[in-house]
Amino acid sequence: MIVKRSNAATLKFTNMKCPKCHTDVIEETIDGRKRQTCPQCSYMHYDPRKDGGGYDEITDDIADEVATNGASEAMATVLINTVFRADPGGKSSADQMAEWCQIHGFHFSTHDGKDANGKKAQFIRFARI
């Protein structure tokens, strides 16, 4: 059974079993990567990207960490100046992050913290909905 969720994801049940609870997992293709999720428990897994690089590596690392640990954090300046850079006359960085999160089933929030040198910095935390 295949269900179209959005332009970015197609859902289908597979014969693969969840390694945690042995329920059939749902497989989706999101941003060119296959993701398996269990409808019964918290299991989530992204297959490695076959091609890509650059900014894809940053968003892939975030998605992988959320799938594995439930959350991921990154410095706001890094994301805003690279992956989610605002386009003049286009979408803002926040709108781009919200769209990316919606596709993946994540949400994001910001908080203040300190960088590796102890200086004030703003961080973005991504987590599963």
Q: Where are the domains of the chain?
A: 1-47, 66-129
Q: Is the pLDDT score of 129 beyond 60?
A: yes
pLDDT at residue 89, rounded to an integer = 80
Q: Is the pLDDT score of 126 beyond 70?
A: yes
What are the φ and ψ backbone dihedral angles of 67, each rounded to 5 degrees?
-60, -40
Place of tokens 């003049």: 88
pLDDT at residue 3, rounded to an integer = 35
pLDDT at residue 1, rounded to an integer = 33
- Rounded to two decimals, the pTM is 0.81
Q: 127 or 54: which carries more pLDDT confidence?
A: 127
Sign of CA dihedral 94, 103, 55, 57: positive
> Average of pLDDT values for 104-117?
95
46/58 Cα distance (integer angstroms): 14
Q: What is the mean pLDDT of the chain?
A: 87
pLDDT at residue 10, rounded to an integer = 55
Q: Are 9 and 28 in contact (CB under 8 A)?
A: yes
**16 C-beta neighbours (distance < 10 Å), count:** 13
| pLDDT tens-digit map of 39-94 | 999 899 999 887 767 788 899 999 999 999 999 999 999 999 999 998 888 889 99
Chain-centroid distance of CA 2 in Å reads 22
